[in-house]
């Protein structure tokens, strides 16, 4: 059996779903442009620089979920899929997922972006498992806070290990393990698999991949 893990934003997607969800809500007038757009850009820059405080960001990113009922959020998300997400999915990305889909392969997306935003995207790819930051809920409504450890940096390792343990497995259960990512933030998890693959990587990850002999591919070119 093989384990194949994919990052989502700027890896399987030619763009960032987390950033785009906030921009979508701003465009709908759900969020105030003057208040939210600059903060959204600031957090995105911090993520790319590796300086993001994930809990500060989640306070910002999850708060709008708590202000609206789930039915309304789901309707907005359907529109978000059509206007933002499907245009970000390249033929090469779909082909890569299809290439790995086999009876003896366990597939999952591992992403810091919350599961409300990413769940429908992962289903669009036909990937059966999602390891993501979980937005807490109470009585069917989001609370605006995360539940448990965010799936970010080393937190991705903790969340993947917990998921595998829930299946009675661990990283050593597999003949081969793969992780595809674009970001230097994912180097901790990439270093834990037998085949790390840098996908259209940022400069830091590209250099790290060069030094360690990791594969580098493009899905967005």
Please tell me the distance from the alpha carbon of residue 134 to that of residue 149, in angstroms, as a whole number. 8
Q: Decide if 32 is catalytic.
A: no
Catalytic residue among 7, 16, 18, 202: 7
Sign of CA dihedral 113, 117, 122, 128: positive
Q: Decide if 182 is catalytic.
A: no
Catalytic residue among 9, 182, 186, 202: 9
Sheet holding 176-181, edge to edge: 141-147, 130-138, 105-114, 2-6, 176-181, 195-199, 215-217
Tell me how far the alpha carbon of residue 28 is from its chain's centroid: 23
Q: Catalytic site residues?
A: 7, 9
């Amino acid at each position: 059996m093989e384990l194949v893990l994919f990052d989502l934003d700027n890896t399987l997607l030619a763009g960032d779903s987390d950033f785009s969800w906030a921009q979508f809500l701003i465009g709908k007038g759900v969020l105030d442009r003057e208040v939210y757009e600059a903060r959204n850009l600031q957090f995105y820059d911090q993520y790319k620089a590796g300086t993001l405080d994930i809990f500060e960001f989640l306070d910002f990113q999850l708060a709008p979920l708590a202000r609206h009922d789930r039915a309304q959020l789901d309707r907005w998300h359907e529109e978000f899929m059509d206007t933002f997400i499907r245009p970000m999915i390249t033929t090469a990305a779909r082909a890569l997922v299809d290439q790995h889909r086999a009876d003896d392969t366990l597939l999952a997306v591992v992403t810091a972006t919350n599961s409300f935003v990413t769940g429908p995207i992962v289903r669009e790819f036909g990937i059966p498992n999602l390891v993501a930051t979980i937005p807490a809920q109470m009585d069917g409504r989001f609370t605006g806070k995360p539940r448990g450890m965010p799936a970010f940096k080393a937190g991705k390792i903790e969340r993947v290990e917990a998921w595998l343990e829930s299946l009675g497995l661990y990283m050593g259960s597999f003949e081969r393990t793969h992780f595809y990512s674009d970001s230097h933030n994912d180097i901790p998890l990439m270093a834990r698999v037998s085949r790390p693959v840098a996908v259209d990587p940022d400069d830091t990850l590209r250099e790290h991949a060069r030094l360690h002999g990791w594969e580098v591919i493009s899905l967005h070119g």
